[in-house]
């Protein structure tokens, strides 16, 4: 049997981080087993579904590298097929028309509540003849659910879960206007798409029993279910916006995370392989099994994600990082785009820059000084270092460095040290003010590395701005 998994988001908003983890688990399990990963857009809520949300989902999945093995299925386009199955069930005596009004249904619910019973449909029209139907009422179609015995779901995460069939009701599969319900559409689509494993959040566990009843009524194979615990915030409460339940695009655009870091972090939210924390995509594919997902809710921790992202930043290719931060820097310095020469400077300086950053935002902020014509602003500590610099320091630096014929790290290092000795100062008393005038900050990569990356001309230009001090 070829394993076929699916991710089935509703395009009513962004691809949130919990949905991304569900997609990741489905994708990994398909790859681990040599199967297929499919995508279905459940766009039956026509009022709330938008093309923008569809594009946001595609964009988020592509950024994470979770591409489907076939073209996506759009659920609404298959509504005729869903209705066809409902009528097959009617003809087979496994579903029926229900003519209850909303008032009658409300009365049923209130009576059940008063008697302390589950609030479910009481089967009024289950065995009645359609000739008794009131005139002018558009009936819904209800599935004849089993009424005796137990339903058992052998869940790959939750284990065997049992529910008495008398707790389930004859739920609606076709509305009065002829449109299919979510329950019907999902089952038909999963069957027709050949889905063998349904991996989704455990908030859908109760749905599994209703869906199993429909599979059984049609004589279809029931897929293997795996209901994964939801992600909680650090405080143990259900993940919300204040915890990080944001769109995947926010993690990329606003927070500056790398996709491989996000995937690694989401993988470890509920699944593990020994003490391994840094897990490559190839390792994840080799090791991942849905059976190893824990039953307990995982807690989202921004600090851990940020630290993990720092690890991946340090491992990342310098050119790739320069390309990633180029738009951020351009926006920061007020230009449409940085040019090829500026990008080369970034690449040249990246090895020192990426060691100090944990996000692309931090990396861009700490890199901008390299591609400006002079320093445009100084932080408070940098200004203090400049103001307290030894008298005549910058004039001496300009004179000594200008005389260098070979602009190498060894030579600029020797020159700065020579000046420190000449002024009877410790190296730090020279290097720190120098760092401030070159970078606008009290923190940067090694100062001699900075000078080499900037080049002789730009280094001298920045020093000479202060050579009267």
Which residues are designated catalytic?
241
Q: What is the DSSP letter of 236?
A: S
List, edge to edge, every strand of the sheet that includes 36-41: 4-7, 36-41, 73-74
Confidence at 355, pLDDT banded by 50, 70, 90: very high
CATH 3.40.50.620 region(s) of the chain? 78-228
Q: Which residues are annotated as a binding site for ATP?
A: 241
pLDDT at 235 over 90: no
pLDDT at 337 over 90: yes
pLDDT at 351 over 60: yes
pLDDT at 227 over 80: yes
pTM score, two decimals? 0.91
In this prediction, residue 120 carries a pLDDT of 77
Q: Kindly state the average pLDDT of the residues 278-306.
A: 94
- Asked if 247 and 16 touch (Cβ cutoff 8 Å), the reply is yes
Superfamily of domain 78-228, CATH level 4: HUPs (3.40.50.620)
Q: Kindly state the average pLDDT of the residues 299-306.
A: 93
Q: Kindly state the average pLDDT of the residues 206-224.
A: 96
Q: Enter the tokens of residue 344.
A: 């080369």
Q: Which residues share a beta bridge with 238?
A: 232
Confidence at 342, pLDDT banded by 50, 70, 90: very high
Q: Kindly state the average pLDDT of the residues 2-25.
A: 94
pLDDT at 315 over 90: yes
pLDDT at 360 over 80: yes
**Mean per-residue pLDDT of the chain:** 93
pLDDT at 229 over 70: yes
In this prediction, residue 306 carries a pLDDT of 97
- Asked if 364 and 316 touch (Cβ cutoff 8 Å), the reply is no
Judged by average pLDDT, the poorest of 94-98, 241-245, 450-454 is: 241-245
In this prediction, residue 324 carries a pLDDT of 97
Compare 406 and 238 and report the one with higher pLDDT: 406
Q: Tell whether domain 380-464 is in CATH 1.10.10.350.
A: yes
Compare 41 and 243 and report the one with higher pLDDT: 41
pLDDT digits (tens, 9 = 90+) for 82-140: 999 999 999 999 999 999 878 877 887 778 677 767 777 887 888 888 788 888 889 99
Q: Kindly state the average pLDDT of the residues 292-313.
A: 94
Confidence at 241, pLDDT banded by 50, 70, 90: low
Q: DSSP per residue over 155-216, as a string?
A: ETTTEEEEEEGGGS---EEE-TTSPBPHHHHHHHHHHHTT--EEEEEGGGHHHHHHHHHHHH
pLDDT digits (tens, 9 = 90+) for 363-402: 999 999 999 999 988 999 999 999 999 999 999 999 999 9
- Asked if 375 and 434 touch (Cβ cutoff 8 Å), the reply is no
In this prediction, residue 133 carries a pLDDT of 82
Q: Which residues are annotated as a binding site?
A: 241
- Which of the listed CATH numbers 3.30.830.10, 3.30.565.10, 1.10.1160.10, 3.40.50.920 matches domain 248-371? 1.10.1160.10
**Cβ contacts of residue 445 below 8 Å, gap of 6+?**
349, 352, 353, 355, 356
Neighbouring C-beta atoms of residue 181, cutoff 10 Å: 18
CATH 1.10.1160.10 region(s) of the chain? 248-371
Q: Enter the tokens of residue 341.
A: 């020469």
Judged by phi (left if over 0) then psi (alpha if -120 to 50, else beta), residue 278 lies in: beta
In this prediction, residue 244 carries a pLDDT of 56
Q: Kindly state the average pLDDT of the residues 168-191.
A: 95
CATH 1.10.10.350 region(s) of the chain? 380-464
């Amino acid at each position: 049997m070829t394993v076929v998994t699916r991710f089935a988001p509703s395009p009513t908003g962004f691809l949130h981080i919990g949905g991304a983890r569900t997609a990741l688990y489905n994708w990994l399990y398909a790859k681990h087993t040599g199967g297929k990963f499919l995508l279905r857009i459940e766009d039956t809520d026509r009022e709330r579904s938008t093309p923008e949300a569809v594009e946001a989902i595609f964009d988020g999945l592509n950024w994470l590298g979770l591409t489907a093995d076939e073209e996506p299925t759009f659920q609404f386009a298959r509504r005729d097929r869903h209705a066809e199955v409902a009528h097959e069930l009617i003809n087979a005596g496994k579903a029926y028309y229900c003519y209850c009004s909303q008032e009658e249904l409300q009365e049923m619910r209130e009576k059940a509540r008063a008697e302390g019973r589950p609030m479910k449909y009481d089967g009024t029209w289950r065995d009645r003849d359609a000739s008794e139907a009131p005139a002018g009422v558009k009936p819904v179609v209800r599935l004849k659910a089993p009424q005796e015995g137990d339903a058992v779901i052998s869940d790959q995460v939750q284990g065997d879960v049992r529910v008495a069939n008398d707790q389930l009701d004859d739920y609606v599969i076709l509305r009065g206007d002829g449109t299919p319900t979510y329950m019907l559409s999902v089952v038909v689509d999963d069957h027709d798409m050949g889905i063998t494993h349904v991996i989704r959040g455990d908030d859908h566990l109760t749905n599994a029993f209703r869906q199993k009843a429909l599979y059984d009524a049609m004589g279809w194979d029931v897929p293997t279910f795996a209901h994964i615990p939801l992600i909680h915030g650090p405080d143990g409460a259900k993940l919300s916006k204040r915890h990080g339940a944001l769109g995947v695009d926010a993690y990329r655009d606003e927070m500056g995370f790398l996709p491989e870091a996000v995937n690694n972090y989401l993988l470890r939210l509920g699944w593990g392989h020994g003490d391994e924390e840094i897990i490559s995509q190839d390792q994840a594919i080799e090791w991942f099994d849905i059976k190893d997902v824990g039953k307990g809710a995982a807690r989202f921790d921004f600090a851990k994600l940020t630290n993990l992202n720092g690890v991946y930043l340090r491992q990342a290719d310098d050119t790739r990082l320069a390309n990633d931060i180029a738009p951020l820097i351009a926006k920061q310095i007020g230009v449409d785009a940085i040019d090829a020469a500026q990008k080369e400077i970034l690449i040249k300086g990246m090895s020192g820059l990426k060691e100090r950053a944990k996000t692309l935002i931090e990396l861009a902020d700490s890199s901008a000084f390299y591609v400006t014509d002079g320093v445009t602003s100084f932080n408070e500590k940098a200004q203090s270092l400049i103001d307290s610099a030894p008298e005549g320091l910058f004039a001496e630096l300009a004179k000594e460095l200008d005389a260098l014929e070979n602009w190498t790290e060894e030579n600029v290092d020797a020159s700065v040290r020579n000046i420190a000795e000449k002024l009877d100062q410790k190296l730090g008393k020279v290097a720190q003010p120098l760092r401030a005038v070159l970078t606008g900050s009290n923190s940067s990569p090694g100062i001699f590395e900075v000078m080499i990356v900037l080049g002789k001309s730009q280094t001298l230009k920045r020093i000479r701005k202060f050579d009267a001090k």
